[in-house]
A and B are shown apart, each in its own frame.
Chain A
Amino acid sequence: MRTSLPGITATPWSNGRSKDRVAAVTDDLHYRFPPASAYRLNRCLFAIKSDREFLARYVADPGAASTEMGLTADETRDLLAHDRDALVARGAHPYLVFMAELRLGMERETQPFEFF
């Protein structure tokens, strides 16, 4: 039975996950600093998510839209394959990958909405 919270790293509800860790070390976090090398990839994912005109171009011709964003052939391959792990390994922000995928689903109306 917990009666006090003397310090976060020593509390039952921390589950010991952050013991002896340094907050500034971000490499093993779910959401990491997006490396500059992945900027164009992240910009493309952001545009799919938030730019309706770009989204329409992407749906019409994903390859051409990826080229427009300056993606490399490898980045384009992983993007078109919806390979989340590969994209994240390249430095794509996981939330952008997730939401770009969701917006594509909404645009293509492959996902049912307002089901109940």
Chain B
Amino acid sequence: MLVGAFAVAHTPQLLARPETEDREIVLRVHAAFARVKHRLEALRPDVIAMVAGDHIEAFFLNGVPAFAVYAGLEAAGTFGRYRYRFPIHEPLARAILEQGVERGFDLFSTQDAPLDYAFYVPLHFTMPAPAVPLVPLHVNAYLPPQPTPRRCYDWGATLGGILGARPERVVLMASGGMSHFPGTDRYASPDVEWDRHVLDVLRDGRGRELAALTGEELDKTGNVELRTWITLLGAVGAARADVYAYEPSWHHGNAVVEWPV
């Protein structure tokens, strides 16, 4: 069963804390992460199913899946000096993979791929102890042609159906966003206004409308990673978002959100 749903930023500067950052903004996002951690402790999930956009880390140009399920024994990765490793909930990973394919989604699977920092950064701050097993779910965010927002939403709806019928207590997390333009000349100009409109729509429980966005619009607003949120929205339906934090920095619209399920 689905017991919780969250969207979390994974901005690496939240972890690395370089002097380029506004300390107060970072600490307010940390406080929002702490709220998520408390909620996870209260929800007592058996597994965290986490949807993240791969930063060309697990998958390079020799194989670019639209949607992937990590079904290995454990998943590990590095980011600079940081080393991390999480146990995988293999029964749920297999159920998502097998039932997802059965329901019409031609999912890619892997049992051995580096775990991107998109998973690690928020889990560094939110993972209860002892660690809850993970099911990493990839959505292609950065390598065109990415799946359409509509397809992400539909996959999320199917995913929600699969999770809802499972015996495990599952928390669904979407990692990514909001507006940022890494590697481009717009890096210092995130589209904060657009982000705020999206958050208003989500507070109203109208997340379904994001399925009508185009891939181009996500690119233009620095929100290619919003595909992870849109996937989650397919699973949570018309639930109204509780926005814990929206803390835009000079380069990144940091958001932390919960949906009641």
**Do A and B bind?**
yes
Question: B176 an interface residue at 8 Å Cβ cutoff?
Answer: no
* Cross-chain contact B144 with A26 (CB below 8 angstroms): yes
* Cross-chain contact B216 with A43 (CB below 8 angstroms): no
Residues of the A chain whose Cβ atoms lie less than 8 Å from the Cβ of B182: 94-95, 98-99
* Cross-chain contact A95 with B217 (CB below 8 angstroms): no
* Cross-chain contact B60 with A14 (CB below 8 angstroms): no
Residue of B nearest to A42 (CB): B61
For B14-29 the 0/1 string (1 means CB < 8 A from A) is 0011110101001000
* Cross-chain contact B144 with A106 (CB below 8 angstroms): no
Task: Number of A interface residues at 8 Å Cβ cutoff, please give it.
Answer: 50
* Cross-chain contact A30 with B219 (CB below 8 angstroms): yes
Given contacts A7-B212, A43-B60, A116-B26, contact A30 B184 (CB under 8 A): yes
Give the docked Cα–Cα distance between A18 and B181 (Å).
17
Instruction: Quote the shortest CB–CB distance from B2 to chain A (angstroms).
Output: 26
For B192-231 the 0/1 string (1 means CB < 8 A from A) is 0110011011000010010011111101111010000000
A-B pairs under 8 A by CB, number: 124
Return the contact of A93 from the options B56, B197, B214, B217 (Cβ within 8 A): B56
Residues of the A chain whose Cβ atoms lie less than 8 Å from the Cβ of B142: 31, 93, 95
Question: A114 an interface residue at 8 Å Cβ cutoff?
Answer: yes
Residues of the A chain whose Cβ atoms lie less than 8 Å from the Cβ of B60: 42-43, 46
Question: A82 an interface residue at 8 Å Cβ cutoff?
Answer: no
Return the contact of B16 from the options A7, A98, A114 (Cβ within 8 A): A114
Residue of A nearest to B62 (CB): A43
For A16-29 the 0/1 string (1 means CB < 8 A from B) is 01100111111001
* Cross-chain contact A30 with B55 (CB below 8 angstroms): no
Return the contact of B197 from the options A12, A85, A106 (Cβ within 8 A): A12
Give the docked Cα–Cα distance between A12 and B209 (Å).
14
Question: B260 an interface residue at 8 Å Cβ cutoff?
Answer: no
Task: Number of B interface residues at 8 Å Cβ cutoff, please give it.
Answer: 48
Give the docked Cα–Cα distance between A39 and B215 (Å).
24
Residues of the B chain whose Cβ atoms lie less than 8 Å from the Cβ of A5: 201, 206, 209
Give the docked Cα–Cα distance between A99 and B18 (Å).
15
Question: B91 an interface residue at 8 Å Cβ cutoff?
Answer: no
For A79-114 the 0/1 string (1 means CB < 8 A from B) is 000001100100001111111001100100001111
* Cross-chain contact A99 with B183 (CB below 8 angstroms): yes
* Cross-chain contact A95 with B183 (CB below 8 angstroms): yes
* Cross-chain contact B217 with A17 (CB below 8 angstroms): yes
Give 4 nearest A-B pairs by CB, closest first.
Answer: A94-B183, A13-B197, A98-B183, A115-B19
Question: Residues of B at under 8 Å CB distance from A?
Answer: 12, 16-19, 21, 23, 26, 55-57, 60-61, 78, 80-81, 114, 142-145, 148, 181-187, 193-194, 197-198, 200-201, 206, 209, 212-217, 219-222, 224
26 sample A-B contacts, Cβ–Cβ < 8 Å, listed by A number: A7-B212, A8-B209, A8-B213, A8-B214, A12-B197, A17-B220, A17-B221, A23-B216, A25-B216, A26-B144, A30-B186, A30-B222, A30-B224, A31-B143, A31-B219, A33-B143, A46-B60, A84-B183, A93-B183, A95-B55, A98-B183, A98-B187, A113-B16, A116-B17, A116-B19, A116-B26
